[in-house]
A = this chain, B = another copy of it.
Amino acid sequence: MTAAPPKSLTRNQSLVLSALRAGGTPQGAYALLDGLRDQGLRAPVQVYRALERLQALGLVHRLESLNAFVACSHDHGGTEDAEATPGPAVFVICEHCAATRELTDPIIGGRIERLARTEGFGLHTSSIELRGLCAVCTAREAEETETTADP
């Protein structure tokens, strides 16, 4: 038994991953860069290169509909075995507060694989992104309507 997974990130990669984790919400490459200038990063390409590697390692996901990035919320942590395919990530993105949750649904996963098979399609990656209002923002909006809307 040895330290297996969080190994061998380079300085820039670690910086970018930490910044993503610290942020909580998805962040664009230029926002990450701005936050990391103090640590010595100077150019967009440095961030993009780190992101590319982190994505390849499965530690980071790109949110296509936002042109932004999030740290993967799964383990990548212990000596744990590769989990039994929980299916592709489903991102639920609040358009109001930007809060983003990463879910999985094996049924969706299975269904997608089935679709691909039916089409003779060799699936590489899936991107599933749901946009709307999170519970918190929905509640707040309801409140505001209540307070404001009947003069």
Q: Which residues of B contact A43 (CB under 8 A)?
A: none
Q: How many residues of A contact B (CB 8 A)?
A: 33
State whether A133 touches B121 (Cβ < 8 A): yes
Given contacts A64-B64, A115-B90, contact A132 B127 (CB under 8 A): no
The closest CB in chain B to the CB of A124 belongs to B132
Give bound CA distance, A128 to B116, whole Å: 13
Interface residues of A in 108-148 (CB under 8 A from B): 108, 111-112, 115-116, 119-135, 138
| Least distance between A77 CB and chain B CB atoms (Å) | 24
A14 beta carbon closer than 8 Å to chain B: no
Q: Which residues of B contact A98 (CB under 8 A)?
A: none
Q: Which residues of B contact A116 (CB under 8 A)?
A: 92, 130, 132
Give bound CA distance, A65 to B135, whole Å: 27
A75 beta carbon closer than 8 Å to chain B: no
Give bound CA distance, A127 to B90, whole Å: 10
Give 23 pairs: A residue, B residue, CB < 8 Å, sorted on A.
A64-B127, A90-B112, A92-B119, A92-B121, A94-B121, A95-B124, A105-B111, A105-B115, A108-B111, A108-B112, A116-B132, A119-B134, A120-B138, A121-B133, A121-B138, A122-B134, A124-B132, A125-B130, A125-B132, A126-B128, A126-B129, A126-B130, A128-B129
Interface residue from B65, B101, B103 paired with A127 (Cβ < 8 Å) = B65
